[in-house]
Amino acid sequence: MRETSARLLKLLSLLQTRRDWAGADLAERLNVTPRTVRRDVDKLREIGYPVNATAGVGGGYQLGPGAEMPPLLLDDEETLAVAFGLQSAAGGAVAGIGEASLRALTKLRQVMPSRIRHRLDALRIAVVDRPARSAVDAGILSVVAGVCHNRERLRFDYRSHDGTETQREVEPYSLVRSGARWYLLGWDLLRQDWRSFRVDRLTPKVPTGPRFTPRALPEGGAAAFVAAGLARPFTQVQASIALQAPIETIAPMIDERWGTIESGPDQTCTVTLSGDSLESIAHWLGAFDTDFTILGPPELEAECMRVAERHTFLSERYRASVRPPS
C-alpha cells in the first residue's frame, strides 16, 4: 500500500512537470508496466485529479484543470519561490490580495518540512501594512490580463498624470511590470498607434470585445516599448558640457538612459546630458565634482548662474548660523 501511494505521488509529480506524457514514458520513469500506469491514472481520477487521456499514435496523458484546486507537489526551490512571492504580495503593487496572501502563506508554512521552513525564516521579509501609492486593484489587473490572453478589445476610462480623463479603446497585448507599477501595452484604435497605459489609472468598461487579429509587436517587444516610454521624460532637453576630468573618472557616473560621453584632449571628456529641464541639468553638474565648460545651449549658462547664486545664499546662511569662537 505504501509503495502504491508513493508511486501515485511520483506519477502526479511527473504529470505536473510536463504538458503531455506518453504512457510508455511514464511506465519507464515509474519502472512499471503500461497497464499499471493506466490503473494508477484511474486512481488519481477517483480522488479528484482530472487526468485526460488521448488514444492512438502520439496520444498520452495530460493533467487538466479541475473544478477545485487539487494539492500540488512542489520541490524545495519551488516551495521557497512560492513563499517569497506570497510574502512580497502581502505588501506589493497589487491592492486587495494582501490578506489572502498571508492566509496562503500560513497554510504553506504549516505543511513545510523543517529544512525549508528554516531557510524561509532566515530570509523573512518584514511587510509594512501600507499599500503603494500606485497599487493596482487585483480585479482590474485580472480583467486586463484576461483580455490580453483572449485577444479581446478593451474600452476604459483613463486618467493621465495631470488628472485629465479620456475614454480609450485598444487592442490589448501585454502587461508589463516596472518596479511597483503595472503597464498595459495596447494598439490605440483612435490614434492608430501603440500606447502604454498605467493600469492603476484605468477603469475597464464591460462588456469587452470583440476579438481581434494580433499585430506584430513594436520592435524590441512590449517591455522595451514601455521602458522607452518611461525614459522619455529624460529627453525633454539636452546639453553638452566639457568636463576637466578623464573619461575613466566620469564614465561610471553616466547612465545610458540620460547621457553619453566621449573622450577629449588632455585628460578631459565631453558629456551630453538629457533631462526634463535645464535647471535639473544645472544641478546635476555639481555631482561631477570638477571644473566644466558649457558647450550648449546658451540658456544653460543662466541656469548655472541661478544655481551658483542659490549656493552662495545657502553658504552665507550656514556661516551665519555658526557662532564665532569666544
pLDDT over 70 at 96, yes or no: no
Pick from 207, 233, 259: which residue ends a domain? 233
What band does 125 get if pLDDT is binned at 50, 70 and 90? low
Instruction: Indicate whether 202 and 286 sit together in one domain.
Output: no
Q: Which long-range contacts (CB under 8 A, 24 or more apart) does 244-250 make?
A: 244/268, 244/290, 244/291, 244/292, 245/269, 245/288, 245/290, 249/290, 250/288, 250/290
Pick from 233, 261, 286: which residue ends a domain? 233
pLDDT over 70 at 13, yes or no: yes
What band does 126 get if pLDDT is binned at 50, 70 and 90? low
pLDDT over 60 at 166, yes or no: yes
What band does 3 get if pLDDT is binned at 50, 70 and 90? low
Q: What is the dihedral of CA 109, 111, 113, 118, to 10 degrees?
A: 10
Q: What residue numbers bound the domain in which 34 lies?
A: 2-63
Q: What is d(CA 146, CA 276) in angstroms, rounded to the nearest whole number?
A: 36
Instruction: Indicate whether 106 and 52 sit together in one domain.
Output: no
Indicate whether 185 belongs to any domain. yes
What band does 67 get if pLDDT is binned at 50, 70 and 90? very low
Stretch 100-122: mean pLDDT: 73
Q: What is d(CA 53, CA 234) in angstroms, rounded to the nearest whole number?
A: 56
Instruction: Indicate whether 85 and 118 sit together in one domain.
Output: yes
What's the CATH number where 275 sits? Answer: 3.30.70.250
pLDDT over 70 at 91, yes or no: no
User: Which three-class secondary structure state does DSSP give residue 293?
Assistant: strand
Instruction: Indicate whether 7 and 49 sit together in one domain.
Output: yes
Q: What is the dihedral of CA 31, 34, 38, 44, to 10 degrees?
A: 20
What band does 210 get if pLDDT is binned at 50, 70 and 90? very high
Indicate whether 130 belongs to any domain. no
What's the CATH number where 30 sits? Answer: 1.10.10.10
Indicate whether 109 belongs to any domain. yes
Domain count, the chain: 4
Residue of 124, 214, 208, 201 whose CA lies nearest to 162: 201
Indicate whether 69 belongs to any domain. no
Stretch 14-30: mean pLDDT: 84
Pick from 215, 233, 251: which residue ends a domain? 233
Q: What ranges make up the beta strands (E) of 5-125?
A: 51-54, 60-63, 94-95
pLDDT over 90 at 164, yes or no: no
